[in-house]
A and B are shown apart, each in its own frame.
Chain A
C-alpha cells in the first residue's frame, strides 16, 4: 500500500498513544498538509507549547526509520490505514464528533464508500431478537445496504454472521486488531477480514478498554445511513449509539417489545422518543423507498397449522400440544423444520415464537 506524504503524516501522528485526540487533531488541522520533517523543524515552538514534556516523543520519532517501522508493521498485519485526508475516508465520518484521524481497516476497504446501514443490539438479546437480527440483516443486504455493526455477542455478532455470506459487512471494533474482543469471536474475525471489512480507530497494538465502547459507537452511528436497534435494556450501550445517531439527525428504527420484556426496554424508550417503530425489514426499506422480492418458503400442512397458531403469540410447547391435541414427539419435528426455515424461534424454556 502506497501512502501519500499527507497520509503518512496522519498515520505518524496517530501512532503516539500518549498524546490525546484533542492535541493530535489540533496539530493535524493546523499542519496536516506538511511533511513530518518540515513540520517538526518549522513548528518546534508550537509543538513544545501544545505538548509540554511529551513534545520530545514527536521530536524523537521524526525520522524516516520510525515511519518506515509503523508502515511496514501495518503492512505485515494486512492493515490499511485510511486517513482523514485520504480519498477513501467516508464523508459521513467527518460529521461525527471527534472524527477519527485514521481508520485502521482490514479486508475490503471499498465497503467504506458503499451505502451503509447500522444494525445494533445488546449482548443479552433474546433468541427472538437474534433471529430477527439475522432476518433484517439479510433483507437489508438484499436491498443493497452494507451492514455496520459492532462485534459483541448477541445481536451484533448475529448480524455479522448473517452478513458474512454476502461480504457486505463492516464490523467496528473497540480496540486494535492485535486484541480481538471478545476472544471467542477470533475465528469470525478472520472470516470478516476475508469476506467483509473490520475497522477500528485504534492502531493494532492498542488493547480494548471498557471506555472505548461508547466512543466506538459514534463511528457505527456515523457510518450508517440510519440506525436499527434490535434490542437493549434501559442502560444498554445501544442507547449511546442511538444518541449519536440522533445528534447526527439520522433516522433511528427500533423493534418494539412487550411491557415485561426487560431486554427490550431500551428499544421501547427509543420509540417513545420518536424512533420509527419497526416490525419487519420492509418497514425500513419502505422508509428509504427500496423494495425487495420476498419469497415464502413452501410449507407442509402441519407446518402451516403450527405457524398460524404461533402467529397469535409466543406459546409453550405444552400448550401447543394441548391446543393442537398432539403429542410432543409429533410436534417437535415440525417445530425444528420451522426453525430451520427461519420462520419461528425457540426462546428460553421451550417457548416458541413466530418471527
Chain B
C-alpha cells in the first residue's frame, strides 16, 4: 500500500515542500530510499527501523520503497526521519489517520524519541507562505517555533505521542505562543559603555559609527581595550525589531548556532572569527548544503575582525562585495544561495607589526618595509569602505580626574535611534538607509558643502596630508556628525571633527 506525508527540505534560508512517499509491496523484503538523498537521509533507514520497533510497532517484511519528491531537489540532514516513519506506519496499515494537513519535522532516536533539528524557523516561515498550518515538530525546537502567530505547532517528544495524536487517542496540546517584545525586554548585553573608563574620543567615534552605519577601525597597540570597545557596539545599536530578529534567527537556525533557551535572536549578533578563518567560513558555503558564513551570522549585528592585517588577503577581499551589496550569493556546484549580510564591520590593528610605532617611551623595532608590507595587506578598496579610523591607547584611568560620569549604553542608544530616524526620513525615497551607504551621487545631493566647509576641507588636505580617497569618507562622517547635532547643513566643525577620525593606518 502507498502512503504519503509532508516534510520540508531546506535550501539556504528557504524551505521547499517534500512529499515523503512510502510504498510497502509484496516482493522480496527490502528497504530503499530514492530521491537525491544524501548520506544522513539514507542512514535514516536504520534510525526509523529501530524507532518504529521500539515504539511498539514493526517494520513489515515487504519491499519498502521511500521516495522523496520532487526527486531532483537535493535532500540532506535528518529532518525527514519522522515523516518517513509516519509514512511507513501508514503504508503498513499500522496507523490509520488523516495526515494531509500536517507537516512532519524531526530526527528520530533509536528509542523512538524525537530530537531537535536545525532550521525549524526558516522551514516554518516558508511552509506558512506555502499554505501549511499544522506542524509536528521536536519538543526541543518548541521555543524557536513559538513566535510565529499563525503556525499551529505540536511539539512532540517521541513517536508514540505522534501516533496517539494522529489517531485521536491523546491529543498533544498546541505549543504556546510567545510574544517577542516580552522576551526582548528580558535580554541584556554583558557589556555596557559605562564599564569602559575614559576613551572619550573612542566612545564618541563609536556613537558616530553606529549612528551613521559606518564601519570602524581601531588602531592601537595590543591590550588597549579595542575588543572591549568593540563589544559595546551591539549595546548601542537600535533595538532589534521582530522582523530583524526573525531574519537573524533564520540564519542562526540554519547554521545550528541558535541557543535553545531563547529560541530567537534577541541581542544583536557579535561575531569575532579568528584570523585563521578561511574564505568559505567567512562568506558561507560547504561541500554539502550551503551554510551561512560569519558575515551572515553577523547580519544586523557586528563583525569584529581583531588584528585585521593578519587575516588572509582572500578572506578580506571577499568582504568587499557584501559590504557594498549587503547580501552574499554563494554559488556551488549544487546550486546557489543568497544570504543576507548586512553587518557593521569593526576591525582592529596595530600601528606596525611590533605595535610600538609612534610610542614615545618605546622603540619600534620594525623596518619601514615591514611596516609598509603590514599595511599593504589592507587593500585600498577595503579601506575605502571603512569610514572611521581611530587610535586607541592605554591611558591609565588612575591618572584621570574626570568630573563626568560615564554614560550608559542606553543613553547613547537613545541618541543613536534619533540619528537613525533623521536618516530614515532623509532617505525615504532612496534605496539606502544610512549615511554610510551614500554613493557619490547621494553625497552630491545630500551633503552640500558651504564655501567655508570646502576651504576647511582643502586646508585639511594640505596640512594633514589626507589622501584623495579620504574625501568622501570625511564628508559622510561629517553628515552623520551633523545629524547627531540635528543640523540640516554640514558645518565647519562637523568637517573638522570628521577629519580627526583618522588613525594613520594608511
* B368 CB contact (under 8 Å) in A152, A325, A334: A152
A263 interface residue per 8 A CB criterion: yes
Q: Determine the chain A residues whose CB is within 8 A of the CB of B357 once the complex forms.
A: 124, 348
- Using A322-B404, A340-B464 as known contacts, say yes or no to A317 and B496 having CB atoms under 8 A apart: no
Among B90-98, B105-113, B388-396, the one that faces the other chain is: B388-396
Q: Determine the chain B residues whose CB is within 8 A of the CB of A322 once the complex forms.
A: 400-404
Among B157-165, B196-204, B254-262, the one that faces the other chain is: B196-204
Binary interface encoding of chain A residues 69-109 relative to chain B, with 1 for a CB under 8 A from any of its CBs, else 0: 00000000000000000000000000000000000000000
By beta carbon, the residue of chain B nearest A349 is B393
* B372 CB contact (under 8 Å) in A184, A258, A318, A340: A184
The answer to whether B395 touches A316 (Cβ under 8 A) is yes
Q: Determine the chain B residues whose CB is within 8 A of the CB of A166 once the complex forms.
A: none
The answer to whether B369 touches A317 (Cβ under 8 A) is no
The answer to whether A233 touches B360 (Cβ under 8 A) is no
- Using A318-B200, A325-B403, A328-B200 as known contacts, say yes or no to A336 and B361 having CB atoms under 8 A apart: no
Smallest CB–CB gap between A238 and chain B, Å? 15
Q: Determine the chain A residues whose CB is within 8 A of the CB of B494 once the complex forms.
A: 333
Contacting A at CB under 8 A, from B198-217, are 198-201, 203-204
- The answer for the CA separation of A332 and B392 in the assembled complex, in Å, is 15
By beta carbon, the residue of chain B nearest A341 is B463
The answer to whether A340 touches B463 (Cβ under 8 A) is yes
* A336 CB contact (under 8 Å) in B200, B400, B497: B497
The answer to whether A350 touches B402 (Cβ under 8 A) is no
Smallest CB–CB gap between B460 and chain A, Å? 5
- Using A184-B372, A262-B361, A263-B363 as known contacts, say yes or no to A348 and B391 having CB atoms under 8 A apart: yes
B459 interface residue per 8 A CB criterion: yes
Smallest CB–CB gap between B267 and chain A, Å? 27
The answer to whether A321 touches B360 (Cβ under 8 A) is no
Interface size, chain B (Cβ < 8 Å): 44
* A321 CB contact (under 8 Å) in B393, B404, B464: B404
The answer to whether A337 touches B360 (Cβ under 8 A) is no
B297 interface residue per 8 A CB criterion: no
The answer to whether B403 touches A333 (Cβ under 8 A) is no
* A318 CB contact (under 8 Å) in B351, B359, B402, B493: B402
Smallest CB–CB gap between B290 and chain A, Å? 42
Q: Which of A152, A332, A348 has the most CB of B within 10 A?
A: A348
Smallest CB–CB gap between A239 and chain B, Å? 15
By beta carbon, the residue of chain A nearest B219 is A348
- Using A153-B368, A348-B358 as known contacts, say yes or no to A340 and B402 having CB atoms under 8 A apart: no
* A347 CB contact (under 8 Å) in B358, B364, B399, B403: B358
Q: Determine the chain A residues whose CB is within 8 A of the CB of B481 once the complex forms.
A: 329
* A124 CB contact (under 8 Å) in B364, B394, B499: B364
A29 interface residue per 8 A CB criterion: no
- The answer for the CA separation of A316 and B392 in the assembled complex, in Å, is 11
The answer to whether A340 touches B362 (Cβ under 8 A) is no
By beta carbon, the residue of chain A nearest B396 is A316
Q: Determine the chain B residues whose CB is within 8 A of the CB of A336 once the complex forms.
A: 460, 496-497, 499-500
- The answer for the CA separation of A70 and B429 in the assembled complex, in Å, is 68
Q: Determine the chain A residues whose CB is within 8 A of the CB of B368 once the complex forms.
A: 123, 152-153, 182
The answer to whether B464 touches A328 (Cβ under 8 A) is no
- The answer for the CA separation of A322 and B362 in the assembled complex, in Å, is 27
A18 interface residue per 8 A CB criterion: no
* B361 CB contact (under 8 Å) in A260, A319, A337, A342: A260
- The answer for the CA separation of A153 and B435 in the assembled complex, in Å, is 36
B36 interface residue per 8 A CB criterion: no
B220 interface residue per 8 A CB criterion: yes
Q: Determine the chain B residues whose CB is within 8 A of the CB of A152 once the complex forms.
A: 368
B456 interface residue per 8 A CB criterion: yes
Q: Determine the chain B residues whose CB is within 8 A of the CB of A329 once the complex forms.
A: 204, 481, 497
The answer to whether A328 touches B400 (Cβ under 8 A) is no
A292 interface residue per 8 A CB criterion: no
Smallest CB–CB gap between A337 and chain B, Å? 6
The answer to whether A350 touches B499 (Cβ under 8 A) is no
Q: Determine the chain A residues whose CB is within 8 A of the CB of B362 once the complex forms.
A: 262
Contacting B at CB under 8 A, from A298-343, are 316-319, 321-322, 325, 327-329, 332-337, 339-342
A5 interface residue per 8 A CB criterion: no
- The answer for the CA separation of A124 and B371 in the assembled complex, in Å, is 11
- The answer for the CA separation of A325 and B363 in the assembled complex, in Å, is 34
Q: Determine the chain B residues whose CB is within 8 A of the CB of A317 once the complex forms.
A: 200-201
A44 interface residue per 8 A CB criterion: no
Q: Determine the chain B residues whose CB is within 8 A of the CB of A318 once the complex forms.
A: 198-201, 395, 400, 402
- The answer for the CA separation of A219 and B392 in the assembled complex, in Å, is 41
- The answer for the CA separation of A70 and B24 in the assembled complex, in Å, is 96
The answer to whether A350 touches B201 (Cβ under 8 A) is yes
Taking beta carbons and an 8 Å cutoff, which residues of B are in contact with A?
A: 198-201, 203-204, 220, 224, 351, 357-364, 368-369, 372, 391-395, 399-404, 456, 459-460, 463-464, 481, 492-494, 496-497, 499-500
12 examples of A-B residue contacts, CB within 8 angstroms: A124-B364, A260-B360, A319-B395, A325-B403, A328-B200, A333-B500, A336-B460, A336-B496, A339-B464, A340-B456, A340-B464, A348-B357
